[in-house]
Structure 1
Amino acid sequence: MTMRIEPVDERTLHDWREVHNVIIPNAALSVEEVRERIGQNHLTVAYVDDTLVGCATVRPPAGPDRTATVIVRVLAAHRRRGYGQRFYESELARAYELGAGAIETVVLVTNVDGVRFAQSRAFVEVDRYFPEDGSAAFLTMRLDGGDRK
């Protein structure tokens, strides 16, 4: 099975939105909100053959240490097959191409698989954000040793 990663455009934005909203139901996005994000971030979708398996966001580097945020989401039915690792490596490379000096990710605390995936790749929690609506917290995790000089 061949995995392909495509940038999000009008043709693929519904797929990106579907994965995002399944994995992060307490922060579901509208089509218009996804369109806004396309202009601000690098969004991609991943397919294995013609099956949608995930979506990703790379927020461009910002701040004095040029921190980029890399968020990869893989649908539960497609986890533990190596797709997340390949997708993550691709998006991490994109962040460094954009000039990242440090890498962070954001994971919904209830996404146990996502938290484990990040921790197994040397991400450590540096902050928690609690939405005003009282829903599950988001973890900001930083790649330990991920700074590039």
Structure 2
Amino acid sequence: MPTLRIDSVTDATLEDWRHAHNVIIPDDPLTLDEVRERAGRNHLEVAYAGGELVGCSTVRPPGNGSPVATVIVRVLPAYRRRGYGEEMYARSMAHARSLGASVIETVVLASNTDGLRFAEAHGFTEVDRYHPPEGGGPFITLSRS
């Protein structure tokens, strides 16, 4: 298994982050400008193995006195069940904790059964379910301390 390389998003890798997001969350595709805006308020990373895009992650920092950060890890289907998600998850969790988060949430598209299994296996439990106003979904918000 090739070594995983995880990098913070740069202008050169915004499109890779967008591609991974849009493949895994086809109900909520993002434009490059939307990804650029997200990168201004969240910590975005991309992961590669042997030069191939494996996935992307998002850490939404806690804010306004809240102890809650959101960690979302997306692994492209061809790279699942190889331990890459574990590495990405551990790195994202450490980053969220370094920002002062004591509660972590994640958001998973309900049809992403692999993602739901991964979250539940890591101690997350469902706290909310919503349908975006533009359609698609539902999305499930899960939480853990």
Q: Judge same fold: TM > 0.5, yes or no.
A: yes
Contact 2:127 2:142 in 1 (8 A): yes
Query: 1:39 and 2:40 equivalent?
Result: yes
Counterpart in the other structure of 2:5 = 4
Shift of 1:74: 0.0
Q: Could you say what the CA RMSD is over the residues aligned between the two structures, in angstroms?
A: 1.0
Kindly, what percent of the aligned residue pairs are identical?
56
Q: Which runs of 4+ in 1 moved over 3 A?
A: none
**Which segments of 5 or more consecutive residues in structure 1 lack a partner in the other structure?**
none
In the other structure, the counterpart of 1:90 is 91
Aligned partner of 2:41: which letter? Q
Equivalent pair of 1:65/1:102 in contact (CA under 8 Å): no
The corresponding residue for 2:31 is 30
- 3-state SS, counterpart of residue 116 of structure 1: helix
1:133 shift after superposition: 3.5
1:139 is aligned to 140
Query: TM-score, normalized by length of structure 2?
Result: 0.96
May I ask how many residue pairs the two structures share in their alignment? 144
For the residues of structure 2 that align with 1:111 and 1:35, how far apart are their CA atoms? 25
Distance 1:56 1:137 in 2: 20
User: Structure 2: where are the runs of 5+ without partners?
Assistant: none
TM-score by length of 1: 0.93
Contact 2:28 2:136 in 1 (8 A): no
